[in-house]
């Protein structure tokens, strides 16, 4: 996955896609490849990070994990999960 801008992420997501509550979390980074959109999220209450992994065509939820102390750790796990999905490996871990 490659770094992306918020505008590039918006181009992938349908207008009706829920973006969450800005009082609770903030999107801080976006990642794209030909099959996935990854969004890194900062939890404004706990001050930790998580990610949401979506497929691109069609746009569907694939995975999400929270509670990483750093943005870098959340990004590393996002990339790991995207690679598993690209190889056809399903993950059922939600930790």
pLDDT of residue 28: 97
- Alpha-carbon distance 7 to 37, whole Å? 12
Q: Which residue has the tokens 């800005």?
A: 22
pLDDT of residue 19: 83
Q: What residue ranges of the chain have pLDDT lower than 70?
A: 89-95
pLDDT of residue 91: 56
Longest dimension (CA), the chain: 36
pLDDT of residue 95: 43
- Alpha-carbon distance 23 to 31, whole Å? 23
- How far does Cα 3 stand from its chain's mean position? 12
pLDDT of residue 20: 83
């Amino acid at each position: 996955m490659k770094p992306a801008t918020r505008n590039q992420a918006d181009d992938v997501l349908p207008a009706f896609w829920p973006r969450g509550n800005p009082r609770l979390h903030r999107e801080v980074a976006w990642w794209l490849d030909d099959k996935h959109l990854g969004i890194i999220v900062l939890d404004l209450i706990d001050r930790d990070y998580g990610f949401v992994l979506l497929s691109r065509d069609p746009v569907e939820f694939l995975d999400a994990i929270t509670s990483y102390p750093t943005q870098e750790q959340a990004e590393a796990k996002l990339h790991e999960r995207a690679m598993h999905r690209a190889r056809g490996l399903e993950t059922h871990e939600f930790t």
